[in-house]
Structure formats: C-alpha cells, structure tokens
Amino acid sequence: MIQHLVTLPVLIPMIGAVVLLLVSQASDSRRRQLSVALCVAQLLVSAWLLSRAASGEMLFYALGNWQAPFGIVLMLDRLSALMLTLTAVLALGCVLFACAGEDIRGSNFHGLFQLQLMGLNGAFLTGDLFNLFVFFEILLLASYALLMHGGGKERIGAGLHYVILNLAGSALFLVALGVLYGATGPLNMADMARRVAVMDGDQAALVTAGALLLIVVFSLKAALLPLYFWLPRTYAAAPAPVAALFAIMTKVGLYAILRVQSLIFVDTPAAEAITTWLWWSGLATIVLAGIGVLAARDLRNLVAYLVLVSVGTLLAGKALGSTEAVGALLYYLPHTTLACGALYLIAELISQQRGKAGTRLVRGRRLHQRHLLGGMFLVAAVAVAGLPPLAGALGKLLLMQAAEGAARLWLWPLLLLAGLVALIAMSRAGSVFFWASYKGAADSGRVTRPQLAGVLWLLASAPLLVGFAGPVSDYARATAEQLAEPQVVIFRLLGESPALQFGRLATDEGESP
C-alpha cells in the first residue's frame, strides 16, 4: 500500500488538471480553491515521502506490475524526495500569488499550472530515460502556454524563441536516447548502469557519444553557458507566478545531470569529459551572468541573471565530484530556488505601484506601501546575495570548503565576486525603488492578501533553512552519500547483487556468437 503512494505526486496534478480544464466555466473562486487545495495536497504527500526517504528507505513502483527492467518504474530516494518537496513549496507560493488576479488574464491558468507540476514531479520520480523525456515534454508543453499567458508582443516573442530552442533540445534528446538504446538495449537507468559498466571498445565509444549528447540537452535545460542566452528574456517576459515557478525549471536539468552521472555513467570514459565540461562551463556561467547582473537595467532581468549565477554555482559544485561538494550544493539549491522565486513575485508588486516605470531602474512613482515592499525586498536581496545570517552564506561556505587544491583558486574568488556583484546590483535597485527622487504621485494600489501570503510563504524559507541548518545539511550530505552508491539502487531495483549481475552479463556477452 505504501508503495502506491509514490504515484500520488504524479496522479494528484494529473487528475487535478483534467478536472480544472473540464470545469473551465466554473467561477474563479471555485477554480482557485481547487488549485490551492491540490498544491497543499502535493505538499503534504511530498513531506510524507521526504520523511520516509530521510530514513534511507527507497521506494519503487512498477506500473502495471511489470517489473524492471521491462516495465515503467517510479523510484523515490532522498534526492527525488527533496526535489518533490521543493517543487511543492514553490508551487504553493506561486499559486497563492496568482489567485490575486493574474490567473484570469488568460484561459486555463490553473489547469496548465497543474500539468506543469505533473511533468516536474514525474521527471523527479521516473527511473527510465525515455519516460524522463516524456515528462520533460509534458512540463515543456505546459510551460509554453503559461509563458504566453495573458498575451502581449513581448511574451509571444520570448515564447517563440523558447519553443524553438526546446524543440531543438527535444530532438537532440531523442537522438541521444536512440544511440544509448542501440548500444545498451534497455532504457531503465539501473539496467543501463550494469550494462555500461562492462562495455569496452566500439560499444563504450557509442555510449560515450550518447552520454555527451544527453549532457548537452540537460545543460540546455539548466541554462549552462553557452546554452543560457534564452533564459533572461524568457523569464523577464513571463507572468510573475510563472517566472517564479520557472526558478525550478533550471534545477530539472541539474537533477537530470546528477541522476545520470551518479547512476549510469560512473567510472566510464564519459565521466571525465562530463566533469570537465561542467567545471569550466559552470565557472564561465558565473562570470558572464555576473556581468549580466551588473548590466541589467530592469529588476526582472537582474533576477534572471541571478538565477544563472546560481546555476553556474551549482554545476561547478557538481563538477568537484566529492560527497561534501554534492551535499553542499543540495543544501544551497532549495535556498537559491525559493529566494529567486520570491524576488520575481516582489518585482511584480513593485511594478504594480510604479506605474509605467514598472521594474525598470529609473525614476517612477512613489511606492504606496514602500515600507512593506522594502522590508520584503531587503530580505530577498540578502538571501540571494548570499550574505549572513541567511542560508545562502552557509551554502556558499560549504561549497568553498568542499573545493580542494587548484579548484579553490578558481571557485573561491568567483563565488565571492558573485556575491559582491549581487550585493551591488540589489543595492542599486533598492536605492532606485525606495530612496531615489520620485516622479509622479503615489499609486493607490495595494498588495492583496493572496499576494502577500505567496511572497511571505517563499521568504519564510530563508530563516527556516538557517534555523534548521543542522538537519537540512545532514539530509543533504546523506543524499550525496546515497548518490555515491549506485550499486544499492541496482540491487534493490533488479533484485540481485550488482557484482553477480555484472559477472553474469559479462558471461552472457562472452557466450554470445
């Protein structure tokens, strides 16, 4: 019975999306209540699954009772439970904010929102590469419509750019899957892992090619240099609650890289090439995104470049390879995701009270609730810049401690400079919005209760991650240790000793004509 509950993060948004699309003629309040209830249900289920995963337990669910490697398998471990919970927390804040009126500027917002959550949750749970592609497509299709929610020339232009790039990425994904399927046979991750471990010669070269293609696709999803140029314009044009939810989208690419490299391509010729790519691309992303932060003349663009800085930081941390580094990036990941999501929502509130100036860093109307908005902006700015006493500072410190040897000479200065750049840029933005001379009378608009609830819900994560730094960092480190033992996943899913499986596979291949 417990194993059936693993399907709920996919089933709840899927059924909810169908219902919301069917009752599109219902009142706005009814659809909002249902959407919020669905997000709360997903949060409760994710929290329960997180508590089970925290004990080290792994849960597997074979759809249709077709056992691995022949059937579709959902897999819950510490990493997937962490990502499910993070998604649910972010989604609840976004949907609360949207209920203030953003949801009725276009059609079927809540149904599409739930479809995107279904794709995100499925991507975090699947144990099969082809179904990872399927869930990627579900979340991308929903994101296309959400990005253009409400219409407008800027959104449609950014949306077209976004669609074309992701269609190209999906095509490459299919090519990579075809190469790996031809080389290994299955697409179940655990079964692929045991087969890849005994390959050599031409087969190993083919697997390496497929692996590198996969990393290119996931780097596009994660917005890693040189594949990040689509992100600033896209995120700046999106509606505020959609842009805030998109803060988790780049982390899907990071998750996929973590999953395939730690499970399938361990100690293979592709592993070293992947690590080198992630290291130098991650550092370059930090540098160029930092320049973008300083050059931004709009708060939404500024936040988009801050998202890119966090992407470079996380993937450079992954390239360090040690258990300590992976644990540090998993501690830092929830903080930066929720802080950037909160900043997008705060940017929308500022825009509502500045008239035509919007979020541009120019003189505008005096903010009607400048003390409230200023306080929330200050907390978000400190969080995203990685300053003490919030969790960003601790996350960066853990990453710096995990770096060894020559890696310190590169990572330490860049992380410190990235924090300084973020501090300068956010200080400049805050000065323009709250202290500079004003132009025009104050707008009478006020922050509504749903908007305030959504922002405060996300901002609350900053002090909570500090208050519970011990348990959270312990969980992150345990997750890193679990990822470092892929043979445990293979054993529990396929039911045999990894050594026995590898030996049997080698014998079978030796006996084949």
DSSP string, 106-170: SSSHHHHHHHHHHHHHHHHHB-BHHHHHHHHHHHHHHHHHHHTTT--HHHHHHHHHHHHHHHHHH
Does residue 69 register a pLDDT over 80? Answer: no
Q: What is the mean pLDDT of the chain?
A: 87
Question: 45 burial class (0-12, 13-18, 19+ CB within 10 angstroms)?
Answer: buried
209, containing H or E segment = helix 201-222
Question: How confident is residue 510, by pLDDT bands cut at 50, 70 and 90?
Answer: very low
3-class DSSP state for residue 65? helix
Q: Output the six-digit token pair for 78.
A: 């510490």
Q: Output the six-digit token pair for 229.
A: 């140029």
Q: Which DSSP letter does residue 446 get?
A: -
Mean pLDDT of 27-46: 93
Residue for token digits 């929830």? 334
Cα–Cα distance, 178 to 173 (Å, whole number): 9
Mean pLDDT of 490-494: 79
Residue range 39-52, pLDDT digits in tens: 999 999 999 999 99
265, containing H or E segment = none
pLDDT over 70, % of the chain: 94
Does residue 238 register a pLDDT over 70? Answer: yes
Residue for token digits 């709009």? 298
Closest CA to 485 of 495, 498, 472: 498
pLDDT of residue 496: 55
Closest CA to 252 of 189, 301, 314: 314
pLDDT of residue 502: 40
312: Cβ–Cβ under 8 A, 6 or more apart, which residues? 224, 225, 281, 282, 283, 284, 285, 286, 287, 289
More reliable by pLDDT, 367 or 335: 335
Residue for token digits 């993060």? 9
Does residue 295 register a pLDDT over 80? Answer: yes
3-class DSSP state for residue 267? coil
Alpha helices (H) along 1-62: 8-22, 28-54
Cα–Cα distance, 410 to 421 (Å, whole number): 17
Does residue 280 register a pLDDT over 60? Answer: yes
3-class DSSP state for residue 495? coil
What is each CA distance from 11 to 31, 114, 121, 132, in whole angstroms? 18, 10, 10, 16
Question: How confident is residue 257, by pLDDT bands cut at 50, 70 and 90?
Answer: very high
Q: Do 173 and 217 form a contact (C-beta atoms < 8 A)?
A: yes
Neighbours of 431 (CB within 10 A): 11
Residues in the chain: 513
Residue range 195-225, pLDDT digits in tens: 887 877 778 888 888 889 999 999 988 888 8
Q: Domain-by-domain residue ranges, the chain?
A: 2-511
Q: Do 418 and 426 form a contact (C-beta atoms < 8 A)?
A: no
What is each CA distance from 294 to 26, 84, 288, 297, 378, in whole angstroms? 46, 33, 10, 8, 18
More reliable by pLDDT, 138 or 24: 138
pLDDT of residue 509: 41
Residue range 453-469, pLDDT digits in tens: 999 999 998 889 998 98
**Residues forming beta bridges with residue 75, ordered by sequence position:** 60
302: Cβ–Cβ under 8 A, 6 or more apart, which residues? 293, 296, 425, 426, 429
pLDDT of residue 441: 65
